[in-house]
Structures are given as C-alpha cells and as structure tokens.
Amino acid sequence: MDSSCCPSLFPLHRCKTIHLVRHAQGIHNVEGDKNYKVYMSPEYFDAHLTQLGWRQLSYQVDNLRKHVHASGLIKKIDLVVTSPLLRTIQTAVGVFGGDGYSDRMDIVPLMVANAGNSDRDAISSLDCPPIVAAELCREHLGVHPCDKRRSVSEYQYLFPAVDFSLMESDEDILWKADVRETKEEVAARGMTFMKWLFTRKEKEIAVVSHSGFLFHTLTAFGNECHPLVKKEISSHFANCELRSMTIVDKGMIGSDPPTANYPGKIPSGPDLPSEAADEKDEKKDTSNSLHQS
C-alpha cells in the first residue's frame, strides 16, 4: 500500500503549532503593485501601514483581530514573534495586542498613539501574549529601502512593551544598499528561524512576517506531501492572511519531555499485558535451553 496515502503519526511533544501572518497592506504595496520600481524609492523607507491596512473595508488588521478573538486563538497563543519592521510590528500589536490603553503608571503601553502615522489610539499591553522582535524573520535584505529597519531606540519609543532584546544592534547592520539576498539565502535564513522556534519553550507561537520571507521559507517544506498539500503550504500570502500549521521535530532538535504521556505503571508479575508476558516467557525458555545445553 502506498504510504503516502496513509496518515502518519508523530509524538505530540515533538510538534509545535505556528500561526503565520503576513503584515497588513503597507504604503509600498499600493504603489509597488502599479510600478515595481517604487520599491527602490527612499520615500518608502521602512514602510508603514496604509489606512486600509488598519481598518477600512472588511479586512486587514481589525478584521483579523476579530477572527483571532472569536476563534479563541488569542487564548492559545503563548508568544508572538514579529519581524522588526514598522509594518509588521504595527500588525502584530494591532492583531494580538490588548485593548485601548488607559494611562497608568504601572502599565507600559504596547504602542503609543499614532505610532508610524497609524492614526490609532495607544494599545495596551494587558491581557495579550508577549511580543518579541526577531531579525531572522525579516523580508528580503538589501537594496529596497522599504525593507530597511529603523533603529531599535526609535522602535522602543513607539512600542514600549515590545521585547527588542534579541536584536543584534541598535542600527540596521544587515541591510545593504547594493546587495540583495538571493531566494536561496532567504530560504536558508527561514530554515534557521524555524529551528530557532523549536528551541523556544512555547508550544503555540504566532509569527508576523512578510510575503517574500514566508513564500521562500515555506517552499522548502512539503516535498514529501501530496502536491495539493505542498501547494497549500507554500502559496503566496495575502495581506493580513493567517495560516495555522504544525512544525515537527524529526531530528531531535527539541529537548522538552512529554507532558501528556503517562507510563501506565504496569505491575510486575502475572499482570503484564499479554504480548509482553508472551515475550518474557519466550526469552525465559530460550535462556533455559541454552543453560541446559
């Protein structure tokens, strides 16, 4: 029987659920769809979200936020990892952040009012999963100004409760004006990112990233699957699209012990399961035969 037609099993503690999100519509997306050369314009440095991206029509940040709450995902997600670019951080805090911020000395806002020309009220850091920025899930590095980030100091002012401790440096040392990553390099960085996710203790993680990064990373997966599953895994993301997937540790990357397994406390003696008892008797008979001979 063709094994590809059968479901497969894998230990639960060697699996991790990830919810992948592409950022909402950025100002560079609007003009770039009309003329690709726009992506070379310094005007779109670290592009922020459009007003459509935030709230107009029936989709994007507000609509995804409603879905995340209505589906119960917000209660399951242990951590949100975001690319450290303005449009992804705005999406992450808008979708997964708390409600409106009330000025309290003991609570730091997740986002200050009008961060990145958002025309949004401040967002609270209460009742939401922690949000951490990571360089590994950035968009294609180099050449396009829209993919160059600001200084961490500037982001920390705009998003006080977002964790930037994983950032390599205050200034962007990864983006180069004259060298753009190849697709293969983006995919390799994506695989490194996936391995890093598996070292995290959290079991359910949301990732807010970019079209190119998600596409080239996910294209590396699913080669052993049915073609339709492979297509489902690696197709391009729409703005503010969310897809939930499971990553599996087949190479003993993770070291967490199983938390749901139970050994059964099988007693010794005649109460062994029949298969185990038969196996034990066979070994005993073989040992006796060898001893007698």
Q: Helices 61-70 and 86-96 meet at what angle, rounded to 10?
A: 40
Angle, nearest 10°, between helix axes 211-218 and 183-199?
Answer: 80
Q: How far is CA 26 from CA 7, 22, 43, 86, 199, in A?
A: 40, 11, 13, 9, 31
Q: Choose the catalytic residue: 23, 140, 210, 216.
A: 23
**SS3 of residue 202 by DSSP:** coil
Answer whether residue 258 is part of any domain.
no
Give a yes or no: residue 262 inside a domain: no
Residue 70 within a domain: yes
Cβ(148)–Cβ(86) below 8 Å: no
Convert the pLDDT of each residue in 59-116 to its tens digit: 688 899 999 999 999 999 999 999 999 989 999 999 999 987 777 667 889 999 988 8
Q: What is the pLDDT of residue 279?
A: 62
* Residue 270 counted as domain residue: no
Alpha-carbon gap, residue 32 to 8, rounded angstroms: 43
Residue 238 within a domain: yes
State the total domains in the chain. 1
**How far is the C-alpha of 96 from the C-alpha of 125, rounded, in Å?**
10
Is residue 139 annotated as a catalytic residue, yes or no? yes
- pLDDT tens sequence for the chain (293 residues): 344 567 778 888 889 999 999 998 765 555 555 555 555 556 655 565 555 544 443 368 889 999 999 999 999 999 999 999 998 999 999 999 998 777 766 788 999 998 887 778 899 999 999 999 999 999 999 988 889 999 999 999 999 999 999 998 999 999 999 999 999 999 999 999 999 999 899 999 999 999 999 999 999 998 888 999 999 999 999 989 999 999 988 877 766 778 888 888 766 655 555 565 556 556 665 556 555 65
CATH number of the domain to which 215 belongs: 3.40.50.1240
Task: Point out the catalytic residue in the list 31, 139, 210, 216.
Answer: 139
> Would 62 be classed as within a structural domain?
yes
Does any domain span residue 213? Answer: yes
Residue 23 annotated to the active site: yes
Assign 60 to helix, strand or coil. Answer: coil
The verdict on residue 292 lying in a domain is no
Instruction: Provide the domain limits for residue 41.
Output: 11-248
pLDDT digits (tens, 9 = 90+) for 37-56: 555 556 655 565 555 544 44
